[in-house]
Structure 1
Amino acid sequence: MKIALLGYGKMGKVIERIALERGHEIVLKIDKDDRDYDIKGADVAIDFSVPSAAYSNLKKCIENGVPVVCGTTGWLDKYDDIVRFCQEKNGGLIYASNFSIGVNLFFKLNEYLAKLMNGIQGYDVYMEEIHHTQKLDAPSGTAITLAEQIIKNSNKTGWNIEVPVEEEIYIDVKRENEVPGTHTVTYKSNEDIISIQHKAQSREGFALGAVLSAEWLKGKKGVYSIQDVLNIEM
């Protein structure tokens, strides 16, 4: 399979190595600031660029009939536009806030726990997310996904990263050197504390999930999620 890498930072390099190990060919490597490139020679593209580049990268892929896997976060105010554009052009797209297999199992666990806790009196929920200092968006896309799952299954009305507010989920955002990603969801009462946590040990899991998604998406039309790839019902 011929893969175009849109974004060639630390994640892009790990994706390249895993793709080559799985017998694929990298036909294009684009830096975050490059907008003038030809995508047509690729069977599929993988975008781990920056929020300011993701939208135009996805549009270019879809316009040229190249299915695209996107793991860039921080641009989701334009997500609905991309979905409509993909459907109009009969393109192929997978977006995920996190491509790690373990994280997507964690999403399933988070959703189930939120349903269990809904209606139980005396508990409040808050979150913590820790990432490396180079991460551009805060909170992480993964943290937002976790929060949205809880909001859907509780009386919380939103989330914030500024100060704890009773009707919202407080997300404590931390940036530390060389932390691939740690997410913790905690329910606290006066009597006890319930916590679930996912801690990434490297970028390998994210990269492998992205390559598996690219393999799955090749030749397909439509808008999909990582749950479709992993066959996990959410």
Structure 2
Amino acid sequence: MKIALLGYGKMGKVIEQIALERGHEIVLKKSSNTPFDGLELAEVAIDFSVPTSAVENISECLHRGIPIVSGTTGWLDHYDTMTALCKEKNGAFIYGSNFSLGVNLFFELNDYLAKMMSKFNQYSVSMEEIHHTQKLDAPSGTAISLAKGIIEHSNYTHWTLEKATNHEIHIDAKRIENVPGTHSIFYSSAVDTIEIKHTAHNRDGFALGSVIAAEWLIGKKGVYTMRDVLDLEKRR
């Protein structure tokens, strides 16, 4: 499989290593200030760039008919535009706030717990996410996905970085040196706290998941998620 890497920072380099180990070829390593030369050789693209470059990268691939997997967060105000473009061009697109297998299982656990806890009003929910100091967006895309999962299955309606009011989920977003990613959900009452937590030890899980998603996307048309890639939708 010939892969274009759109974004060649720390994540891009880990993706490159894992892709090569799995027998794939890298035909383009693009940073934010370099051209798309070589994109025409790619069978699929993987975007781990920055929020200001993601929309251009996704759009360029869809216009050229190249399937694209994006793990860049912080650009989702344009998500509906990109999915509409994918459908217009009969393309293939996967966006994931997190491609780690463990995190996607954690998403499922979060949804299940939110459904169960919705019956117990004495518990209030809050979240904490910790990432490295180079992460540009806060809260993380993973934290937003977790909050949306709780909102979908409960009486909560919004998330906030500020002090929460009724029907809001407070997210405490922390930035600490050399932390790949930690996400915690707390259900607290006057007598106890229930906590679920996912801790990433390195970037390898994110990178491997994105390569697996790219392998899966080849030959398909449409807009997908990691639930499709991991066949989790049928297990709900």
TM-score range, shorter chain: over 0.9
Match of 2:173 in 1: 173
Cα displacement (A) at 1:157: 1.5
Cα displacement (A) at 1:92: 0.6
Match of 1:103 in 2: 103
Match of 1:186 in 2: 186
Measured in 1, the distance between the counterparts of 2:201 and 2:180 equals: 7
Cα displacement (A) at 1:38: 4.3
Q: Which amino acid aligns with 2:46?
A: I
Q: Which amino acid aligns with 1:68?
A: I
Measured in 1, the distance between the counterparts of 2:198 and 2:178 equals: 16
Measured in 2, the distance between the counterparts of 1:225 and 1:141 equals: 14
CA contact (8 A) 2:63 2:89 kept: yes
Q: Which amino acid aligns with 1:163?
A: K
In structure 1, list runs of 5 or more residues that go unmatched. Answer: none
The answer as to 2:9 corresponding to 1:9 is: yes
CA contact (8 A) 2:30 2:36 kept: no
Measured in 2, the distance between the counterparts of 1:101 and 1:91 equals: 25
Structure 1 stretches of 4+ with a deviation exceeding 4 A read none
Match of 1:77 in 2: 77
CA contact (8 A) 1:33 1:53 kept: no
Deviates most, 98-107 or 158-167:
158-167
Q: Which amino acid aligns with 1:226?
A: M
SS at match of 1:40: helix
Matches within 5 A, 1:84-123: 84-123=84-123
Task: Spell out, residue by residue over 1:44-81, the C-alpha distance to the aligned partner (whole angstroms, 9 max, x if none).
Answer: 00000000000010010011111000000000000000
Deviates most, 86-95 or 154-163:
154-163
Q: Which amino acid aligns with 1:157?
A: T
Cα displacement (A) at 1:100: 0.2
CA contact (8 A) 2:187 2:194 kept: yes
Instruction: Kindly tell me the number of residue pairs found equivalent between the two proteins.
Output: 234
TM-score, normalising length from structure 1?
0.98
Matches within 5 A, 1:206-221: 206-221=206-221
Match of 1:132 in 2: 132
Measured in 2, the distance between the counterparts of 1:36 and 1:229 equals: 27
Cα displacement (A) at 1:164: 2.7
Match of 1:199 in 2: 199
Q: Which amino acid aligns with 1:5?
A: L
Measured in 1, the distance between the counterparts of 2:38 and 2:2 equals: 13
Task: Spell out, residue by residue over 1:100-137, the C-alpha distance to the aligned partner (whole angstroms, 9 max, x if none).
Answer: 00000000000000000012121000000000000000
In structure 2, list runs of 5 or more residues that go unmatched. Answer: none
Cα displacement (A) at 1:35: 4.6
Task: Spell out, residue by residue over 1:178-214, the C-alpha distance to the aligned partner (whole angstroms, 9 max, x if none).
Answer: 0000000000000110000000000000000000000
Cα displacement (A) at 1:220: 1.2
CA contact (8 A) 1:65 1:91 kept: yes
Percent identity of paired positions between Structure 1 and Structure 2: 62
Cα displacement (A) at 1:34: 2.7
